[in-house]
Amino acid sequence: MDKKLKTSLELEVKELRARVEKLEALLAESVVRPKEAPAPVVEKKPEIAPEIILAISAAVAAFLGKRAKIHQIHLTGSTAWAAQGRATVQASHGIVRGLR
């Protein structure tokens, strides 16, 4: 075998071994290791101020014409339906430019 060819093949084998070792190291790093499960997030429900409850009960009493017992009050967040409704209302307003 030609000495130049043998030297180039040995060099190429060394380079390939180095690449394989590098890839094996990367693979070892990327292996998914079991992690500890995060602690469950307990969502604290917000308290409703007594003034708000009083205002709601007054509105119910005014609507019904008599006192009513309120059993539950739930706070609701903004939903996609509400956002779409607001967008529709806002889009229905014409923008008048140049008149001041």
pTM above 0.75, yes or no: no
36 lies in some domain: no
* CA distance readout (Å), 27 to 15, 21, 30, 34, 60: 18, 10, 5, 16, 65
State how far the Cα of 66 lies from the Cα of 42, in Å rounded to an integer.
Answer: 39
Domain that holds residue 58: 48-73
Residue 16 falls inside a structural domain? no
For 34-74, how does the pLDDT look when each residue is reduced to its tens digit (9 = 90+)? 667 777 777 777 788 889 888 988 998 998 888 888 888 87
How many domains does the structure of the chain reveal?
1
Question: Is 52 part of any domain?
Answer: yes
What burial letters (b/e) apply to 22-31, b meaning 16+ CB within 10 Å?
Answer: eeeeeeeeee
**Residue 34 falls inside a structural domain:** no
Q: Can you tell me the distance from the alpha carbon of 72 to that of 90, in angstroms, rounded to the nearest whole number?
A: 32
Per the domain annotation, does 21 fall within a domain? Answer: no
Most trustworthy range by pLDDT among 3-7, 36-40, 56-60, 87-91? 56-60
Tell me, yes or no, whether 56 lies in a domain. Answer: yes
